[in-house]
Amino acid sequence: MNLLKDKIISEGIVLSDTVLKVDSFLNHQMDPQLMKAMGEEFAHRFAEDKITKVLTIESSGIAPALMAALTLNVPLVFARKQKSLTLREDLIVERVHSFTKQVTNDVTVSRKYLSPNDTVLIIDDFLAVGEAAQGLARITEQVGAKVAGIGIVIEKSFQTGRQTLIEAGYRVESLARIASLHDGSVQFIEE
């Protein structure tokens, strides 16, 4: 998606060979027009998949997922992150380790908002090793719902996440695929 790639080139900050900071338009400040365009692009790519629900994880996933849900005209559910949780019957809980932040969270969704009849589009801001997306997929499957696919804003294609998700049988649609962050410069995979 060229609009997003242009934004990454002009405003992204390469902090290391593995970390790209996009606080100016995605993770702290947000560009609403870009969010809308990204949501529409996700909706377009999954237009034939009879999506009934979009699932994401707080906080940076909410904006692109909301715009996708708006375009698809289905509800959005955002999973909560909690440090650790007392077990509650009404919650589905998966433990997820964040590669980027080096923290482990319990990711939770209420059983009320996913049903076996749902076809779910999972959306997240970044894909690195794929832990968050896998956690959301496991949550979806625990209730017997179907994962239609995983929509990612920025994929770090030099990490293992995409491969892991594809080997697990998931369709992955990323709006920007980054081949490398070497030498402070962003190289995309051209598609």
Annotated binding site for 5-phospho-alpha-D-ribose 1-diphosphate: 128-132
Q: Are residues 176 and 1 in contact, defined by beta-carbon separation less than 8 angstroms?
A: yes
Query: Do you know the residue count of the chain?
Result: 191
Strands 53-57 and 119-127: parallel
Q: Is 103 exposed, middle or buried (0-12, 13-18, 19+ CB in 10 A)?
A: exposed
What residues numbered 87-106 form the site for a second copy, per CB under 8 A?
none
Q: Determine the interface stretch with a second copy among 1-9, 29-37, 123-131, 146-154 (rule: CB under 8 A).
A: 29-37
133 lines the binding site for a second copy (CB under 8 A): no
| φ/ψ bin of 126: left (φ > 0), alpha (ψ from -120 to 50), beta (otherwise) | beta
Residue of the chain from 9, 17, 18, 29 that contacts a second copy (CB under 8 A)? 29
According to CB under 8 A, which residues from 142 to 161 bind a second copy?
none
Return left, alpha or beta for 102; rule: phi > 0 is left, psi -120 to 50 is alpha, else beta.
left
CB of 73 to a second copy, least distance (A): 7
Residue span binding a second copy (CB under 8 A) among the ranges 64-72, 117-125, 137-145, 147-155: 64-72
Which residues of the chain form contacts with a second copy (CB under 8 A)?
A: 23-24, 28-33, 35-36, 58-59, 62-63, 66-67, 69-70, 73-78, 80, 109-110, 112-113
